[in-house]
Amino acid sequence: MLKTIEQSEFFPVAPAELFRIFIDAKKHAAMTGAPAVIQGRPGGEFRAFDGLLTGTILAIVPNRLIVQQWRSCNFKKDDIDSTLILKFTPERRGERRGCRIDLVHVNVAKHDHAGVTKGWKKYYWTPLRKYLKSA
């Protein structure tokens, strides 16, 4: 059975800055602390966490949207690839201007759903907050 993950996070920076962190291999690696290769164009391949995550970029709308075909190293051979959608939306929260990232991750294998769900916070949202504070 396949599952879906939905998460939204707010960061006090412009959408363009967050978009670049997800699409630029050097910035992505600096944020996660792990090697990454990202060909930032539709059809381009990506590898994150030294190959533990792999996939293909399906679509990009600069500074607004990234769609990826995505696999975790924990997916079984016969699991289908999942699809990750990251939407970057300008948002104001009180006096703070920034960006809301809406994540929809579909077709996640049931056996890896809990790990991927927790992994977004552990390997992306928390390190991203730390990276933005140090930048």
pLDDT-derived band at 135 (thresholds 50, 70, 90) equals: confident
| pLDDT tens track for 77-130 | 999 999 999 999 999 988 889 999 999 999 999 999 999 999 999 999 999 999
Closest CA to 60 of 88, 79, 32, 80: 88
The residues spanned by each domain of the chain are 2-134
| pLDDT tens track for 3-33 | 999 999 999 999 999 999 999 999 999 999 9
Determine the Cα–Cα distance for residues 117 and 135; give it in Å rounded to an integer.
26
DSSP, collapsed to helix, strand or coil, labels residue 94 as: coil
| pLDDT tens track for 32-88 | 999 999 999 999 999 999 999 999 999 999 999 999 999 999 999 999 999 999 999
SS (H, E, C) 50-64: HHCEEEEEEEEECCC
In the CATH hierarchy, which fold is given to the domain comprising 2-134?
A: Alpha-D-Glucose-1,6-Bisphosphate; Chain A, domain 4 (3.30.530)
* pLDDT computed for residue 118 by the predictor: 96
* pLDDT computed for residue 93 by the predictor: 85
